[in-house]
Amino acid sequence: MINALEVPSEQDLSAFARFLAARGVPHRITEEGLNQVIWVPDERAAAFVQAAFNDFEAGRLPEVGEVSSTPGRSIPQKVFEAFWRYPFTMVLIVVCILFFPVGMNLQDVETDGLFARMMFVMLVEVQGEQYFSSIGYTLREGEVWRLFSPMFVHFSWLHIVFNLLWVWEIGRRIEVVHGSWAMFAVVMVSSLAANVLQYLMSSPGFFGGMSGVVFGLLGHALIWSKLQPSRTMGVPNGVYIFMLIYLAIGFTGAIDLLGLGSIANGAHLGGLLGGLATGGLAVLLTRRKLSRPTQ
């Protein structure tokens, strides 16, 4: 079978499939990542499908009249559909938005305030002075949630918009291929690795944001797509190159010098390593499952 055409999975191909069937064109439609793929038996059929699809989109095929008369989906319908198809990715985005005010207006940080309680280590006050505690002391106090909670705190509109756009773009692809629970595992592993490495590589301080998780999602998608090309995540190679260059530039200090804010390079590297690990594990588990003899 030949891959004749790829279109976004949200596009309704039912009318086009009926047209191909009526013309006697053998075909099969599958979902690969975020795309639908139309498979045909030979190059001649592929050329016909590609030409016919152009007419289909232009409204020149008989079945198009039915589709064109259907009203477009409203914004609430699109949001509901997104929650239905990518529930964990959407919940992650919503939670970050709900916590966004926590990271703003930080002139006076209280040790028992919500912001301080979401940072990686405890902020304690001794004789009127504030100090960061160690991770060991924090965990002995039972505040285990701090291992993950910094990912929900963002410090500017640019910070949160940049991160959540990438969470949406890459996270939903992972959720489509692996499911919501696997997506949850990738996020938690990436968040933990990002926060721990940032803590180890820098002096105690405030850091947060979803960028470490974004690098984790990137690493997971990269390993999976390269080792399982038949079920690729569909992320363009240029995205991987851009993010890796961004990671490398961050370690040079150039971004800090440009006045764009302090970059949590340890979090980026830790998240990437966590995502590479989960991606490699997903490949191993998939290959092991496929190699098992059928009963």
Residue 147 in contact with residue 138, Cβ under 8 Å? no
Radius of gyration (Cα) for the chain, nearest Å? 23
Q: What would be the CATH architecture of the domain defined by 77-291?
A: Up-down Bundle (1.20)
| Short-list 57, 19, 17, CA closest to 37 | 17
Residue pair 234/35 in contact by the 8 Å Cβ criterion: yes
CATH class of 2-68: alpha beta
Domain range annotation of the chain: 2-68, 77-291
**How does residue 61 score in pLDDT terms, banded at 50, 70 and 90?**
low
Helix (H) or strand (E) holding 30, with range, is strand 28-32
Share of the chain above pLDDT 90, in %: 37
The pLDDT of residue 1 is 66
Measure the CA–CA gap between 62 and 261, rounded to whole angstroms. Answer: 56
Of the pLDDT bands very low, low, confident and very high (cuts 50, 70, 90), residue 67 is very low
Tell me the average pLDDT across 204-215: 90
Mean pLDDT, the chain, whole residue set: 85
With vertex at residue 163, the alpha carbon angle to CA 259 and CA 177, rounded to the nearest 5 degrees, is 150
Q: Who has greater pLDDT, 164 or 74? A: 164
Which tens digit of pLDDT belongs to each residue from 157-196? Answer: 988 999 999 999 999 989 988 889 999 999 999 999 999 9
Q: Quote the DSSP letter at residue 293.
A: P
- Give the range among 51-55, 67-71, 274-278 with minimum mean pLDDT: 67-71
